[in-house]
Amino acid sequence: MQTTFTEKQLEDPDFKRSNEVLRTCVHCGFCTATCPTYQLLGDELDSPRGRIYLIKDMLENERKPDEKTVKHIDRCLSCLSCMSTCPSGVHYMHLVDHARAYIQEHYRRPLSERALRWILKLILPYPGRFRLSILGAWLAKPFKFMLPGKLRAMVEFAPASLPPVSPNDDPQSFAAQGERRKRVALMTGCAQRALNTDINDATIRLLRRHGCEVVIADGAGCCGALTHHMGDVKASHAAAGRNIKAWMGEAQKDPLDAIVINASGCGTTVKDYGHMFRAEAEAEAAAEVSRLTKDISELMVEIGLQNATRAPKLRVAYHAACSLQHGQQIKTYPKDLLRAVGFEVVEPAEAHLCCGSAGTYNLLQPKIAEQLKARKVKNIEATAPQVIATGNIGCMMQIGSGSDVPIVHTVELLDWATGGPVPPAIEKAGLHRSAV
């Protein structure tokens, strides 16, 4: 694609990167075949190719974003399926992130939109606030019919119950069982700490059992993805900066072999810290954090599963989170690990399509998200699974709200199969009694 950015524009690192990305696009349109919003809406401007044209025009001319441009970019899930499909290697993620930051700086949204985004940024990255907001949603549920669409979606999304706070999420160190093979920092996250504490607990048990000392770094928290994808550079970099400082502080005490992440949406962002901070003072430290970061499935493949004391004979439908299969290009590891411990793994049709969660997308674009959820659940349930497994808390909440099939994190099954307790969702469904 030919571009006409000026030399002055290209002095800005973000414009320079967008220019590089745009120039790799050859207009082929392969991306339209795998874009969820294009598949649903059939509008060229709701495809990656259409959005690229809008972004190019907006950035090259440094024009004030108009309502049309903002609407179609807001509808993008950032699922990055287009990046898996693109034969030219267009790095759409960096382009759409720049576009969103530009919109945030130059476009004034309607008051209701600004208020909703402010609420999400104020609550979701903070586990304590998130828990309180869920309690508020429970109180509001009887009156949800009176709420406007997006607020109603927020209330409806609230889970029916909350787990107790896990002491394992506090800053501390867990010794390896047996000889220490690795020292790793575990990112405990934000929403996950409020919605499902079993995931971090299972991850810690699994890692310790496989010879890892697990560190919960003091000062680490939200990865910044939520605000990053809203275009709020200041807030996202502040969150990321705190993590970089916390993890590098731990590495200075005693070197880290990996920074382990079990929420793939967070993993995609943390692996991009090097790019996010490329022009800042923390560039070297951010690049080191990105280098060290591994999804839990990556690390377990590297270590190798040991002592699989049980082989649960369960039919598991594996849902590939977009941030894992497209954002991090990890496609086979979770399935390989589940099969290695004895599960029957089945894959639903249209596995490349997003479930509609996409961070805050299901709250900001509830109508499209509901359609994608229904399509995803239909495809998953067509495989007649006993259990659904995935590697991202957002997907678990989204799919779980539309299906009665128990849904668990992949790491919960691996923990169970190597000597850990029965995952609560499986125990509640009574599947464990016939699975061993």
Q: pTM to 2 decimals?
A: 0.94
By the 10 Å C-beta count (0-12 exposed, 13-18 middle, 19+ buried), 242 is classed as middle
User: What architecture is domain 7-106?
Assistant: Orthogonal Bundle (1.10)
CA 191/CA 198 separation, integer angstroms? 13
What residues does each domain of the chain span? 7-106, 111-157, 167-300, 306-435
Q: What is the dotted CATH code of the domain comprising 167-300? A: 3.40.50
pLDDT at 101: 98
For residue 311, what pLDDT is reported? 59
Give bridge partners of residue 261 from the DSSP assignment. Answer: 187, 295
Q: How far apart are CA 156 and CA 147, in angstroms?
A: 11
Q: Rounded mean pLDDT of the chain?
A: 95
Percent of the chain at pLDDT above 70? 99
Q: What is the mean pLDDT of residues 160-171?
A: 93
CA–CA dist 315, 172 (Å, integer): 36
**Given this model, what pLDDT does residue 436 score?**
46
Give kind and range of the element (H or E) at residue 369.
helix 366-381
For residue range 181-212, list pLDDT tens digits in order: 999 999 999 999 999 999 999 999 999 999 99
SS3 assignment, position 1: coil
Average pLDDT over residues 157-168: 90
Query: Is there a common fold for 167-300 and 306-435?
Result: yes
Q: Is the pLDDT of residue 405 over 60?
A: yes
pLDDT of 285 higher than 50: yes
Q: 230 pLDDT exceeds 80?
A: yes
CATH code, residues 306-435: 3.40.50.1860
pLDDT band for 313, please (50, 70, 90 cuts).
Answer: confident
- pLDDT score recorded for residue 147: 80
- The pLDDT of 87-112, averaged and rounded, is 97
Alpha helices of 304-350 — where are they, by DSSP H?
Answer: 322, 333-340
- Stretch 8-16: mean pLDDT: 97
Over residues 132-158, mean pLDDT: 84
Instruction: Answer yes or no: is pLDDT of 414 > 70.
Output: yes
Give the span between the Cα atoms of 125 and 225, in whole angstroms: 9
CB contact at 8 A, 206 and 300: yes
Cα–Cα distance list, 44 to 54, 75, 252 (Å): 11, 12, 50
pLDDT of 268 > 80? The answer is: yes
**Residue 270 and residue 200: Cα distance in Å, rounded?**
17
Can you list the pairs that 160-166 forms with residues at least 24 positions away whose Cβ atoms lie under 8 Å? 162/131, 162/134, 162/194, 162/195, 163/195, 163/196, 163/197, 163/198, 164/197, 165/193, 165/197, 166/193, 166/197, 166/200, 166/201
Average confidence (pLDDT) over 312-336: 96
Check pLDDT > 90 for residue 277.
yes
CB 180 within 8 A of CB 211: yes
Q: What's the pLDDT score for residue 310?
A: 66
Most distant pair of Cα atoms in the chain: their distance: 68
Q: Who has greater pLDDT, 152 or 26?
A: 26
Q: What average pLDDT does this structure show over 131-136? A: 92
Q: Give 345-359 pLDDT, tens digit per residue.
A: 999 999 999 999 999
Asked whether the predicted pLDDT for residue 435 surpasses 80, the reply is no
d(CA 71, CA 148): 19
